[in-house]
Structure 1
Amino acid sequence: MTDQPYDARYQGQQGYEGYDPYQQQPQTWPGQQQAYEDPQAAQQYTQQWQGQTWETQMQSPVPPVAQASAAETAYLPPQTPGYPAPAYESHQAAQAQPEPVVSAPSAGDDGAPTYGPATVAGNARITDAQRARLEGRSPIIEPGMQPAVLTALLGLLLSATAAIGSYALVVPLVVLQAVTAAGWFRLNGMWPARQGIALAFLGGLTADVALLAADRSPAAILGTLGVWVLLSLVLQLRSHAEPDERMYGLMATVASAALAIVAAGYLAAEADAVTVGAAAVAVAVLARAVPLPTVASVVVSLLAAAGAGVAVGGMTGLGASGALLGAGAAVCALIGHRVASYDYPSRFVHFTAGVALPLAAAAPAVYVLGRALA
């Protein structure tokens, strides 16, 4: 044993009473610099960047805003690199009145109302259907006279070519099927949908070819429908969209293909029935476009179609029974007309679905009533 103290570090310290193992003592590891007790001395050895870095060169300084409220910083204009930030005192003045001011819509070139851009405090634009509901009006816009004239022209072409022969009837029928396929997808808000439109139109063409090859047997329509439902399912299974979107696309594709294929019923029906039915649809749609109350317009449309059926039926072998055929075709045509008017559709919908759906929806009635009355 030795008479020297336990540790040389404690030599010369007053009041040393022995080593306390729990007392925290400063330790210095090999290679470690001793900590600076003086903050000013520590700052002398702290590395500070005095030059410009990439961030200080590319980004313009933003002046600090003391105690900025949430309303003042809700929206700041974009800052362009290399230029000072623009003043936003005018924005602060605008925030004092946060309520958006909705001005009356101005008329565009095509007569449709147009709306201004979104405001800073929020998007004040609403759709035509929403505005109509807020004002207590019906959110339904019918195609109008111009699409009705096109429908009547296409119907008269079907009526005239049916009297000539099946191959002449194919020409306006193909146009009807193409407009039906495109209009249905646009009516459902799916645009562009090239694959679905092409598939539906191809189904209509296949039904036409099958009918001509099978001597206008209706079994060709049913067979084409079955095959095209399967093809539509395969097309949607190959899609990488979300499940809900794929289901929505599947229903739209199947419905569009079914309408295009069902329109081939004009080719399967009797020639006299097509002549009477297509002419009746043309007259019914024109009468429906006359600005009258809805109930009165529907009644006038059905009466006009029945009268056209009698008149055209007198020139064919149907005679007075053409009134029943014309009225039945008009009922289906008005249903198609109402579908094309759903929830403020666009002008493109009016000039596609609004033109084609009345004639496409009337095809089954023309076939069934034509077979029954022949």
Structure 2
Amino acid sequence: MTETDDTGDAADADEASEYLTEAEIAEGGPVDCGLLAARMETGVDAILVVLLDRAGRRLVELDWKPGTGFVFRSTDIAGDVPRGIGNASVAGRMLVAHDAEGSVRTLDRETGEIGSIPNLPSPVVVMPRGDKLIAATDRGLLTIGLWNRDGKKPWFAAGIEPLLVKDIDNPGGMILLPGTDPGHFILAIGCYGAIELITVADRAGPNDGYEVITSQTVPARGLAHDPVIVAHPPFAVPALTGPWVYAQDDGGTGLIALDVRTTSIVPYPHGSAGYGSVRRACASVDSDACLVVGRDGRAFHWRPGHEPRQVGLDGGLPLLWQGDRGLVMDRDRPILRDTILPW
């Protein structure tokens, strides 16, 4: 082995030694620490994971490399933590979430300052550059600019503009996915009895702004005609290796996987057994598979086109998972572990 190789191996070992496979990351109990958002981009080998430490009034961020571990840091939140904060997305300095009162909340990841944007429709996601929000309404899509006076005060909204005029029936959860072309993104929006797939181009440069390229309403065949929920963690631009978007109806009668390239649908084989037959579903980071908990509490690992395999998840579903690794919170204490999953 050459001297250069020795140096490289040593550097890799030093980097690996900084990563933890287990750490107490919050105050209070495990119920006081919840997943807010995650982000994974092409070319970056660590997944950004954002958690809310409610008891400690902190934002906890992890750089997670599945199988290697994680490093984490925290930012004190300036002011009271809003009740029921969740359904978040993250980009740049911005974390944008909803609270129990229906307001959109901005949280500056550098300063911990919390802002409030009332009277915005839900759902809302922050775009990858962190400069604008996109909101889904029953009349289409809006873009909302984000501004900050001096880099320290809470962010506020300005410049609300229409992006797409279209009837969207009862828009619910929304996730932002990478498109097939550079600079393109796909919005997947759960609505009543269907999923909206909207491709948006990011026009950076002289003609700065966002433009809708395609828009399609895909009936959620295989689900009850109820509000549709996208069964993904709260992502801003996950790096998909598979094309799947997972969705279930509000009553839990079933689960489907939608191929965003072809709009073909694969139903979950153990669904369609009445309301409550699918209690919970959580997709992997890359969307290649989904963990599904049925009415009887049994958990299954499902890849579309394959038969579901029963797995033992004694600690419940992981906060986040990828491949055979997951981030799992201890039942009794706010201890987070990078652990191997049973399949």
Richer in strand (by share)? 2
Higher helix content, 1 or 2:
1
TM-score range, shorter chain: under 0.3
TM-score (norm 2): 0.22
Higher relative contact order (CA 8 A, sep 6+): 1
